[in-house]
Chains A and B, each alone.
Chain A
Amino acid sequence: MANYVMEFQVLDNMAYLSHLELMKVFRQAFRRSGLKVSFSEGFNPHMKLSFAIAKGVGLKSTGELLEIEVQEDIDINKCLFSINNSLPEGLKINIIKNKGSNKKSLSAMLKKARYSLSGDEDTLNRVWHKLEVEDIMVHVKTKRKEEVKNLKEYIASVEKGDGKILITVFAGSEKNLRIEYLLNYLSENITVKREKLLNETQAIIDEF
């Protein structure tokens, strides 16, 4: 038995799959690729597969993470090739790493997420100014409750990149920003993409 972490991209129309649909695609792709994933015990055996975090419908990403337990050690390069050959267009594994002795789950490691916002220069300037303000108070409504949040408290850093703005926000079980709230606040014609999932200090995938 061994555990592996995979970083993958969700591009084009694949972004419109729901979290459950995406999980199903991966389960089926693993089967097609011949990867021997471990199963849980019991009447309804499930593949031992989990994602670091769910991704909103419509959101593109280049840095999603999943982890699996497999029955025996794998040849990482061969496996990368065969899984990618079993995935539909728009989904691709970037890298596979052995999780080694690290027992912590990806979702427990997750603390932040980095997003890129791109658009034309004028739009990005406006976005930059909207993010510079002291407080970003928004009214949010979930199934359970309605509340006023200061989105600023959820933003870890903002920086200008090459033709885009990179914004790092808190993510995970302790403190999580739904990026839709921020996009609603900005309400600008920008393209958003999730770039990386991070722990306190760096990209989680670089931990392995």
Chain B
Amino acid sequence: MDIRQVITDKILAQVDKPGRYIGGEWNSVVKEKDQSQCQIAFCFPDVYEVGMSHLGLQILYGLINETTPYAMERVFMPWPDMYQKMEENKIPLYSLESFRPLTEFPLIGFTLQYEMSYTNILAMLKLAGIPLRNKDRENDDYPLIIGGGPCSVNPEPIAPFFDLFLIGDGEEALKAIMTVTANYLKLGKITDKQNLLKELSMIRGVYVPKDYKAEYDNAGKYIGTYNFSDSKIKVKKALVKNLEESYYPTKIVIPFVDAVHDRMMLEVLRGCTHGCRFCQAGMYYRPVREKSVRRLLTISESLVPASGYDDISLTSLSTADYTGVEELVKLLIQRYEDKKISISLPSLRVDTFSVNLAKMIQKVKKTGFTFAPEAGTQRMRDVINKGVTEEDLLVSLEGAFNAGWERVKLYFMIGLPGETDEDIMGIIKLSKKVLSLGRSISKGRNIKVTVSVSSFVPKPFTPFQWFGQNSRDELIRKQNILKDSLREFGKGLTLSYHYSELSVLEGMLARGDRKLADLLEEVHNSGCMFDSWDEFFDKDKWDKAFFKLGIDRRFYSERFFDLEDNLYWDHIDLGVKKSYLWNEYQKSKEQNITKDCRLGCTGCGVCVDDIKMDIKGQYRG
């Protein structure tokens, strides 16, 4: 079947946003199959607009297609209308570059950005006609299914569906995987899959789940997950040691359909060591590695004319921490102001420095202000090690309101360890203070404060990995406290919060074990997809699957672990010592602060041998 023909003639006219499915975007790269030595389909298990916003995709896509003899093509989860049409017309899931079905690729890589996308992975495999479980794909005909990205730090709930996981930075490790795989290809197909896997497992960051057995004792208590040949083996994360010299894409693919983040992204640094105790990314991407201002300017010189975008976003976990940020912003404005290219800072710290940065860039374009105090009281912020005081927040916002900003968004969490109702009320008090401050400064302008409250989900490799998540009912109760109190305040304050049902499932999957794969397969079979989208999430189907399999979600989500307990992800090694995380957990109970390691080592254990923090200037703290 000529997939492109069928799609064009029969399908595109009948689906929403057909531009998602046509490929051919500016800077997309089509290599004929015989022109590349190994091919990988990069699958983003969510809709095109979300996937095309992902920097990791652009980095790996450029890296493989520009600098290697291999090829990477893109695949996204079709929106339900398209999914149905493809099933009806027996069109297998295809890549946007060559319109080839996934089965023709020797390698398929899924990025694991959030737990609630897991059912989409299964839906994509199904649409591709690929058996879900690795044990059903042992013959050479099927591609190797690879997973990577943040959720790979505890891949156990999806381990039976994958042949291997790449844990850590993907750049160098993926290249290595493709180089090894290329040697095992004959006529584009893998030969000797078992030996290939054996060789791949030697690459740092690679975890082959079928080489590991999850063991439970007779009472059903988890003992550990061990490598069959050597029980002491742990999987160490891959890491780009020198970010400055590492590849960065300039010919980025420009989506036709508006992406969620539809702009140039300049990654100024990787990692963050503020040490917020809830934050998984902060542990996963350690140590902090910066790029120099010079390098970033060079990148932007190519990026701007190659993309045609009119907005440069300085991307990282915390861009205000970048030691060259002031100089970079100044120079970028100087260069691009007359071309009407604006600069944006997606993540600001709660301090006047950040407000001043924002003032610099607002010359070009005016946007809202977003701050993340994360918790409503000082006590709670000390528990989570968020080094922000109420004074910081109010002084910063005073600056913002004075400079003319009218819209402010505040991020908070509920369900944190040790939280009391007083802390919940603290969110309201603080938000009201912000609104009053805005109104007193604004002199009649229309101040809008959006209070966005998410429900805390304990994540592996954080100090709170031992903590049991709040129950759904408890989260709802806390949300109701917020709703009731904010209503009294009337216009000016808007509250948004997460669907607690989903937060619990996320919590279960984040700290789950391999047994949950059966659950995922069951809900997949009942038709679940796009679970992270409220409009598609089908609670009934999940409830039925839990009942049928006798699985209790609360056993996972609300479980408190002890220090002696083996955790389901103990065979993965991110470099951060378990003892360090435990110590942080204990310190949190005493509201004891740990400072940023850029101001002095705190002993987390990541920096060993030639792995070290790499910052280019003076960190201002």
The digit string for A20-34, where 1 denotes a CB below 8 A from any CB of B, is 110011011111101
Whether A90 contacts B24 in the complex (CB less than 8 A), given A16-B12, A17-B256, A32-B306, comes out as yes
Across-interface contacts of A161 in B (CB, < 8 A):
none
The digit string for B1-39, where 1 denotes a CB below 8 A from any CB of A, is 000000010001100011100111110000000000000
Interface assignment of A57: CB less than 8 Å from any CB of chain B: yes
- The reply to whether A57 and B18 form a contact with Cβ atoms under 8 Å apart is yes
Across-interface contacts of A29 in B (CB, < 8 A):
26, 308
Interface assignment of A44: CB less than 8 Å from any CB of chain B: yes
Interface assignment of A163: CB less than 8 Å from any CB of chain B: no
Interface assignment of B211: CB less than 8 Å from any CB of chain A: no
- The reply to whether A58 and B18 form a contact with Cβ atoms under 8 Å apart is yes
- The reply to whether A16 and B22 form a contact with Cβ atoms under 8 Å apart is yes
Q: Out of B12, B257, B307, B340, name the residue touching A28 (CB < 8 Å).
A: B307
Interface assignment of B474: CB less than 8 Å from any CB of chain A: no
- The reply to whether A44 and B365 form a contact with Cβ atoms under 8 Å apart is yes
Which B residue's beta carbon lies closest to that of A90?
B24
Chain B min CB distance to A37 (Å): 9
Chain A min CB distance to B4 (Å): 8
Interface assignment of B138: CB less than 8 Å from any CB of chain A: no
- What CA separation (Å) do A166 and B117 show in the bound complex? 50
Q: Out of A13, A20, A32, A57, name the residue touching B305 (CB < 8 Å).
A: A32
Interface of B is mostly: loop
Whether A17 contacts B309 in the complex (CB less than 8 A), given A88-B24, A88-B25, comes out as no
Interface assignment of B258: CB less than 8 Å from any CB of chain A: yes
- The reply to whether B366 and A43 form a contact with Cβ atoms under 8 Å apart is yes
Q: Out of A14, A16, A24, A39, name the residue touching B340 (CB < 8 Å).
A: A39
- The reply to whether A45 and B19 form a contact with Cβ atoms under 8 Å apart is no
- What CA separation (Å) do A39 and B308 show in the bound complex? 15
Chain B min CB distance to A68 (Å): 14
Across-interface contacts of A17 in B (CB, < 8 A):
19, 256
- What CA separation (Å) do A89 and B30 show in the bound complex? 12
Interface assignment of B543: CB less than 8 Å from any CB of chain A: no
- The reply to whether A89 and B24 form a contact with Cβ atoms under 8 Å apart is yes
Interface residues of A in 1-52 (CB under 8 A from B): 12-14, 16-18, 20-21, 24-25, 27-32, 34, 39, 43-45
Across-interface contacts of A89 in B (CB, < 8 A):
24
Across-interface contacts of A34 in B (CB, < 8 A):
305
Interface assignment of A86: CB less than 8 Å from any CB of chain B: yes
The digit string for B195-238, where 1 denotes a CB below 8 A from any CB of A, is 00000000000000000000000000000000000000000000
Whether A28 contacts B309 in the complex (CB less than 8 A), given A16-B19, A45-B340, A58-B18, comes out as yes
The digit string for B356-367, where 1 denotes a CB below 8 A from any CB of A, is 000000000110
- What CA separation (Å) do A45 and B339 show in the bound complex? 11
- What CA separation (Å) do A86 and B27 show in the bound complex? 10
Whether A31 contacts B308 in the complex (CB less than 8 A), given A13-B12, A17-B19, comes out as yes
Interface assignment of B301: CB less than 8 Å from any CB of chain A: no
- What CA separation (Å) do A88 and B309 show in the bound complex? 15
Interface assignment of B254: CB less than 8 Å from any CB of chain A: yes
Q: Out of B22, B256, B308, name the residue touching A27 (CB < 8 Å).
A: B308
Across-interface contacts of A18 in B (CB, < 8 A):
17, 19
Interface assignment of B140: CB less than 8 Å from any CB of chain A: no
- The reply to whether A32 and B19 form a contact with Cβ atoms under 8 Å apart is no
Which B residue's beta carbon lies closest to that of A25?
B256
Chain A min CB distance to B595 (Å): 40
- What CA separation (Å) do A39 and B339 show in the bound complex? 10
Interface assignment of B310: CB less than 8 Å from any CB of chain A: yes
- What CA separation (Å) do A29 and B306 show in the bound complex? 10
Which B residue's beta carbon lies closest to that of A32?
B308
Q: Out of A13, A21, A39, A86, name the residue touching B257 (CB < 8 Å).
A: A21
- The reply to whether B13 and A58 form a contact with Cβ atoms under 8 Å apart is yes
- The reply to whether B26 and A28 form a contact with Cβ atoms under 8 Å apart is yes
- The reply to whether B13 and A43 form a contact with Cβ atoms under 8 Å apart is no
Across-interface contacts of B257 in A (CB, < 8 A):
21
Whether A31 contacts B18 in the complex (CB less than 8 A), given A88-B26, A89-B24, comes out as no
- What CA separation (Å) do A90 and B25 show in the bound complex? 11
Whether A43 contacts B365 in the complex (CB less than 8 A), given A13-B22, A32-B307, comes out as yes
- What CA separation (Å) do A162 and B305 show in the bound complex? 43
- Among B17, B19, B309, residue most surrounded by chain A Cβ atoms (within 10 Å): B19
Across-interface contacts of B13 in A (CB, < 8 A):
16, 57-58
Across-interface contacts of A12 in B (CB, < 8 A):
8, 24
- What CA separation (Å) do A18 and B13 show in the bound complex? 12
The digit string for A89-133, where 1 denotes a CB below 8 A from any CB of B, is 110000000000000000000000000000000000000000000
- The reply to whether B310 and A31 form a contact with Cβ atoms under 8 Å apart is yes
Across-interface contacts of A44 in B (CB, < 8 A):
365
Across-interface contacts of A45 in B (CB, < 8 A):
340
Chain B min CB distance to A57 (Å): 7
- What CA separation (Å) do A58 and B7 show in the bound complex? 12
Across-interface contacts of B310 in A (CB, < 8 A):
27, 31
- What CA separation (Å) do A60 and B12 show in the bound complex? 13
Across-interface contacts of B309 in A (CB, < 8 A):
28, 31
Whether A13 contacts B24 in the complex (CB less than 8 A), given A28-B254, A43-B365, comes out as yes
Across-interface contacts of A13 in B (CB, < 8 A):
8, 12, 22-24
- Among A14, A16, A28, A57, residue most surrounded by chain B Cβ atoms (within 10 Å): A16
Across-interface contacts of B308 in A (CB, < 8 A):
27-32, 86
Across-interface contacts of B26 in A (CB, < 8 A):
25, 28-29, 32, 88
Across-interface contacts of B256 in A (CB, < 8 A):
17, 21, 24-25
- What CA separation (Å) do A145 and B615 show in the bound complex? 63
Across-interface contacts of A20 in B (CB, < 8 A):
258
Chain B min CB distance to A119 (Å): 14
Chain B min CB distance to A15 (Å): 9
- What CA separation (Å) do A128 and B65 show in the bound complex? 51
The 6 A-B pairs at the shortest CB distance, nearest first, are namely A28-B308, A16-B18, A13-B22, A31-B308, A32-B308, A58-B13
Q: Would you give 10 A-B contacts (Cβ < 8 Å), ordered by A?
A: A13-B12, A21-B256, A27-B308, A27-B310, A28-B307, A30-B308, A32-B26, A32-B306, A44-B365, A57-B18
